[in-house]
Structure 1
Amino acid sequence: MSRKDAQVNLRIPDGLKEYLDEQAQLNRRSKTAEIVHRLEQSRRDDESQRSKQADA
């Protein structure tokens, strides 16, 4: 990530923040890197699902 990346401020439930903090630590990522990783994974899953639906 670079300083040129967009910044996003959001509110999330405390329990979700705690979960992300724990997962980031377990995966040896920063909180930002953990969130970006999970969003990218979700995006890939969504694109894969759409591709499967288009083929059906």
Structure 2
Amino acid sequence: MQVGRGSPAVMVRMTVEMKAWFKHKAIDNRRTLNAEILFRLEESRKAEEAKHDKQA
């Protein structure tokens, strides 16, 4: 997955607590906040697709 400044931007509202949690996870994983959120969304998408494929 190649994401950069030319990729579409999306504004997402979240609680202060959730943003802080993501920030700490990003630091733990040596990622930017954006990269951490994208990584977790991609993992969630893969898991959902695998579940769907298993049911098919």
- Between Structure 1 and Structure 2, whose CA radius of gyration is higher? 1
Same fold (TM over 0.5): yes
Number of matched residues?
Answer: 54
Question: Residue 52 of structure 2 corresponds to which residue in structure 1?
Answer: 50
- Residues 1-56 of structure 1: per-residue CA shift (max 9 Å, x gap): 311111011110111101000000000000000001000000000000001111xx
Give TM-score, length-normalised by structure 2.
0.91
Q: CA RMSD in A?
A: 0.7
Q: What percentage of aligned pairs have identical amino acids?
A: 37
What stretches of structure 1 move > 4 A for 4+ residues in a row?
A: none
Q: List gaps (5 residues or longer) in structure 1.
A: none
Between 1 and 2, higher relative CO (CA 8 Å, sep ≥ 6) is seen in: 1
